């Protein structure tokens, strides 16, 4: 399984990056590049992420600290973020 990212915009101009599958270190640069190109408010929807590696958890924790909203973040990811 790979990581899939779909970019959506809601009626309030919120950019939503819907991520599904396996989020791994090799995907971090791609997602970070997408985030830096956005000028409107944004959030990540992680509801369909099924597997993450340690580097991806660190990346998500950094985004969370920067104020990027993590929607539908699975409990196991939140737990691992707290343990960093």
Confidence of residue 16 (pLDDT cuts 50, 70, 90): very high
> Is pLDDT at 11 greater than 90 in this prediction?
no
Q: What is the pLDDT of residues 29-69, one digit of tens each?
A: 999 999 999 999 999 999 999 999 999 999 999 999 999 99
CB 70 within 8 A of CB 44: yes
Q: Which stretches within 1-84 are classed as H helix?
A: 25-37, 54-65, 75-83
Output the CA torsion sign for 8, 76, 84, 55. Answer: negative
């Amino acid at each position: 399984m790979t990581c899939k990212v779909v970019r959506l915009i809601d009626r309030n101009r919120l950019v939503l990056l819907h991520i599904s599958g396996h989020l791994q270190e090799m995907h971090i640069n791609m997602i970070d590049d997408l985030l830096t190109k956005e000028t409107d408010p944004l959030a990540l929807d992680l509801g369909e992420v099924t597997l993450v590696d340690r580097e991806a958890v660190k990346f998500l924790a950094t985004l969370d600290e920067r104020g990027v909203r993590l929607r539908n973040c699975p409990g196991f990811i939140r737990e691992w973020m707290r343990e960093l």
